[in-house]
Chains A and B, each alone.
Chain A
């Protein structure tokens, strides 16, 4: 994965630039010592690393605006960072950039149950948004598995999803407004605690723009009253095909589970060895969770059971109590950790039409055999969002490259069957060069034109999302590619 060559002229002005940053921020908010900037050298795509020229940790919108004004005047690229859990390299710095980390901006600004919203600073972690309101019986719905660590800022930038998004939608469906600071320091308020932001849907395009249109400093989020209860069931099948059909039948029957998760045999075996959740040894397994009062749960589960039994499952396991419910989720929740025990892994997240599930799983199996790298599948089946985990050995020369090539083939397959490259992790640098598989030049150009409006100088997170050659003329001349990889390590 190549990155543009850092601009030596900017790096040469490092001390002047950091001095200007220090003039507008408290002393502890500007980090320029190489020993300390190392802390920001990568996100969760740890194979790629590069420390920023400087990192700043503002506490207010005004401080963010002051920093951006300076960077804009100095022509310095800026990389926004939330918690650094991106799996796509979205917050990977370049050696000539100022990284703006919003982690210190974590306050709750306003909680309003009557109007069903919360307003927070964007550095607040996803889980602590719910944490601020759950004792009053409320929650914030989008729930990425990384929710303990990831920030609302990153969620908005990536339009993150989670297991429960089948019912509640992803970030964009739960976002009412943002305070956005543009690259030139202009502060824009978009939307607010009313349903329609009004005018052209700027909020809609800002969400999911991967830190390329502006820095989000505050967000108004839709919150929901907590359901009375929830309960999962586990259904095992001896074929992926049948499990896929069962998913489709449940959806078609109009039952709306909050989650339908799918694990295939390699993944089941790995998690059993690791977490000992007591899963059946079968080809495919579904975890289906429903919500409501006890009688509502019973009604839905009876319907799901009737549908599942028509497909001759090898197992239909209900949870009699809280403890059994936890055990059903245990394996699914430890799936990533379990795969990580076996080897390094790369996690993809292409989405496919639910109807293509059996075919895609079969093809992935064939491709895995052909290239000699194992793959386990664990994913959000209700919405077709796959999560193939490809195992490789980062210390074995050539393995990462083989893994990346295999991953690219899987993603091309997703696009081929009518799906897309990424359902929730974002493009970042990881899928940047595959964008032309999904989009033709006119489709890409339309997206670049949006960035031209928000950031005409192409200074915000400029080397992400789009193939480098597609953005070269905009990012300025002399940007010849180089590889920033320092080393790969177990992720």
Chain B
């Protein structure tokens, strides 16, 4: 199924028994079943005002199209859309709606927040075929409940997104990365010091024995801050590929299960050492990607109390749910929301467990 309009989508939803919502089909985390509903027919940028830093696009618009349009005005989506195709072994073109449904956010999270923080408004079709809008296209909006946040990261469980609006960002004129060879505990400790400094770090990652700190902004300011951090931590400027951090290319094409952990940063080093797995760390240790060659590690037990883990790429035969189990009171609220917005349980059945 591939509706070309919100109205057509609404009719399809009303008639459907089970729908697996796909944008570009580039993510596919979890184990959804049902008839495939492609959002790619709902595409096109509706509004772009560079002077107001706002962009409104239909949900099926390819991310690449949006990135190119923004680049023509030297602007971008601040939260750095990850491209996990190589990691997940998929092809296809990511859609902006899929990005929002996954709240997919890259290294700049430590400075500007996640996709949800840049999202100003949504339109979506709920499980009964109702078209609902929330938020809008302005930067500050507290009118009614914030369903915009609720939909960001909802993995399609509450509705099919049809339109999304964003606050975008001007591309800064300068960027520099400072690098040092560091063992994990010391590397992460250095990254936390950088994040705890006034020097406005926009990336803090550790990959394969190298700690990396990114600074962006006006040329003079970047040079000044780089000098300060160099003195403080002993890092040196070096070329760096932040898209490799963002896309976890270190694990692409390699056998094993891939986990994504959101944790308290100071717990990261110990956690990785206890599990004894290869790790890529971002967000100063707040985000950990783990490669488990055998799929045997009890990652969920290890992370209890300091964060949570999502199984991004399971090995065949693994039975752990993709999304972290929730405490009963939280699970009851989540289930309640799903029952309200998708009473017939037609969206992505089986995905969020």
Contact = CB atoms under 8 A, between A and B. Distances in A.
A134 interface: no
A158 B52 CA distance: 24
A110 to B, nearest CB: 11
Interface residues of B, number: 82
Interface stretch (A401-409, A417-425, A474-482): A417-425
A330 interface: no
B145 A208 contact: yes
B256 interface: no
Contact of B54 (A353, A439, A443): A353
A425 B142 contact: yes
A353 B52 contact: yes
A200 B200 CA distance: 29
A252 B266 contact: no
Contact of B324 (A190, A199, A418): A199
A443 B51 CA distance: 29
The interface size bin for chain A is: 35 or more
Contacts of A447: 134, 144-145, 147
Contact of B173 (A137, A159, A193, A254): A254
B140 A424 contact: yes
Contacts of B243: none
Given A195-B283, A254-B171, A450-B337, A186 B140 contact: no
Interface string B137-167: 1111111111111101110011000000000
Interface stretch (B29-37, B80-88, B217-225, B234-242): B217-225
Interface string A416-442: 001111111111000100010011101
Contacts, number: 250
B279 interface: no
A114 B265 contact: yes
B312 interface: no
Interface string A119-150: 00000000000000000010000000000000
26 contacts: A188-B329, A192-B307, A198-B308, A198-B324, A201-B103, A201-B152, A201-B153, A202-B330, A203-B149, A205-B150, A209-B145, A252-B170, A254-B171, A296-B224, A299-B218, A299-B221, A351-B141, A354-B51, A355-B52, A418-B137, A435-B144, A440-B133, A445-B130, A446-B130, A453-B336, A465-B145
Given A194-B263, A202-B330, A295-B224, 19 more contacts: A158-B142, A161-B140, A196-B262, A204-B116, A205-B147, A226-B198, A251-B51, A254-B169, A254-B170, A383-B139, A383-B140, A385-B139, A418-B138, A420-B138, A423-B139, A424-B140, A443-B133, A453-B339, A454-B336
Interface of B: 49-54, 74, 103, 109, 113-114, 116-117, 126, 130-134, 136-150, 152-154, 157-158, 169-173, 192, 195-198, 200, 218, 220-221, 224-225, 262-266, 283, 286-287, 306-308, 310, 323-324, 326-327, 329-330, 333-334, 336-341, 352
